[in-house]
């Protein structure tokens, strides 16, 4: 079995906490939606927050859909390549500046 490096452990730990935080937030949001659905017909809340919750839900589903689409499209496959492109562009700009002087 391969021994994990410190960087891999940090990445795994951070990934776990991010997933745990998002899961907790999703569960609490789902619970709030459940509460609203149960209180609106009883007239206890008179539906004052229904539109806000529906708006947040639609936006959240939209962002989640965009994330899944981007992930399936492969946008996260080569996420380190962009830093190398930036360094290459920076080197080109430095050479251009040196020629101008």
* Model confidence band, residue 90 (pLDDT cutoffs 50, 70, 90): very high
Among 47, 65, 82, give the residue marking a domain's end.
47
Same-domain pairing of 54 and 13: no
Domain count across the chain: 2
Q: Which domain holds residue 36?
A: 1-47
Residue pair 36/50 in contact by the 8 Å Cβ criterion: yes
Same-domain pairing of 43 and 53: no
Over residues 43-64, the pLDDT tens digits come to: 665 556 666 777 788 888 888 8
pTM above 0.75, yes or no: no
Q: Which of 98, 91, 26 is nearest to 34 (CA)?
A: 26
Q: What is the pLDDT at residue 38?
A: 78
Please give the structure tokens belonging to residue 45: 């809340």
Please give the structure tokens belonging to residue 36: 């609203």
* Model confidence band, residue 96 (pLDDT cutoffs 50, 70, 90): very high
Same-domain pairing of 57 and 30: no
Same-domain pairing of 57 and 33: no
Same-domain pairing of 81 and 70: yes
Same-domain pairing of 38 and 58: no
């Amino acid at each position: 079995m391969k021994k994990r490096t410190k960087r891999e452990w940090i990445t795994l730990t951070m990934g776990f906490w991010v997933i745990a935080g998002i899961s907790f937030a999703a569960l609490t949001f789902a619970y709030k939606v459940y509460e609203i659905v149960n209180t609106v017909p009883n007239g206890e809340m008179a539906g004052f927050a229904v539109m806000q919750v529906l708006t947040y839900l639609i936006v959240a589903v939209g962002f989640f859909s965009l994330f899944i689409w981007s992930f399936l499209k492969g946008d996260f496959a080569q996420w380190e390549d962009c830093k190398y492109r930036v360094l290459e562009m920076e080197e080109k700009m430095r050479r251009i500046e040196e020629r101008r002087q």
